[in-house]
Amino acid sequence: MELFSAEFFTALLSIIIIDLVLAGDNAIVIGLAARNLPKDQQKKVIIWGTVGAIVIRAVATLAVVWLLKIPGLLLVGGILLVWIAYKLLVDEKEHNVQSGNSMWAAIRTIIIADALMGLDNVLAVAGAAHGSFLLVVLGLLISIPIVVWGSTIILKFVDRYPIIITFGAAVLAWTATKMIVKEPFVATYFANPVIKYGFEIIVVAAVVILGTMKKKKQINHHEEQPIQKQHSS
């Protein structure tokens, strides 16, 4: 990939969108871990907890970028990322994070929780970077201010405009298809541009449509439960 080419900036934009969409979880983890601390310590916990999480994530992402060069793993990673994109649309996430009573306990909680929850972000960024370590580093540098200062704002926007999650899931699915079609084992099947782009469009559309339908069913189910309880009582 040429430096500062159209492909480079497209990949960087994908990484930024992925960071924006997936930053909400980090904001919740940070908020829950720091909620019992005095205000003056909360800022320190947010900064140092985020820095620690970013360092762990940087190492993990660079390792995944290297691992994706192993034959077959692009295909596996792509399929896994399609599932992550779908789950992003349908999951009702619970964040059972214990709040720390000391500053270092809270920082430790943030780093551990982020490491456990960060697989989707690591895999998505590694896939979108197309093997470029520079893009990984740029993506992570961009994600620091997003997580520290922007996450709470993003959460409010996501609650108000759920279409942001749908758009983010579509970007993740598109990133996944890019990984799959680049897998040497199956690359010959996608030599024809019509088949290649058709496959990408079908996968993205399937993730968005199936995920949206599933989410609507979940919402309808939750709305029906209180009515059923009222009738039974």
Helix (H, G, I), strand (E, B) or coil at 70: coil
Question: Of residues 69 and 233, which shows the higher confidence score?
Answer: 69
Residue 182 lies in a domain: yes
Cα gap 100→133, rounded to integer Å: 34
pLDDT for residue 16? 77
Residue 28 lies in a domain: yes
207 CB burial (10 A radius; 0-12, 13-18, 19+): buried
Are 99 and 33 in contact, with CB atoms under 8 Å apart? yes
Element (H, E) at 213: helix 193-232
List, for residues 164-202, the tens digit of each pLDDT value: 778 878 887 888 888 888 888 888 899 899 999 999 999
Whether this prediction's pTM lies above 0.75 is answered by no
Residue 1 lies in a domain: no
Helix (H, G, I), strand (E, B) or coil at 94: coil
pLDDT for residue 62? 80
Residue 221 lies in a domain: yes
Residue 195 lies in a domain: yes
Cα gap 92→162, rounded to integer Å: 13
The two most distant CA atoms of the chain are separated, in Å, by 67
Residue 227 lies in a domain: yes
Q: What are phi and psi of 161, to 5 degrees?
A: -125, 85
pLDDT for residue 192? 92
List, for residues 40-62, the tens digit of each pLDDT value: 777 787 778 777 877 887 788 78
Instruction: Please give the share of the chain, as a percent, with pLDDT higher than 90.
Output: 9
Cα gap 199→206, rounded to integer Å: 10
Given CA atoms 217, 218, 220, 224 in this order, what sign does their dihedral have? positive
Domain carrying residue 178: 6-232
Range ranked top by mean pLDDT from 42-46, 74-78, 97-101, 185-189: 185-189
Residue 177 lies in a domain: yes
Cα gap 43→27, rounded to integer Å: 13
Helix 133-145 to helix 6-34 angle (10° resolution) is 40
**How many structural domains comprise the chain?**
1
Residue 108 lies in a domain: yes
Taking each continuous run of H as one helix and of E as one strand, the counts in the chain are: 9, 0
Given a cut of 60, whether residue 144 has pLDDT beyond it is yes
Cβ within 8 Å of residue 2, ≥6 positions away: 8
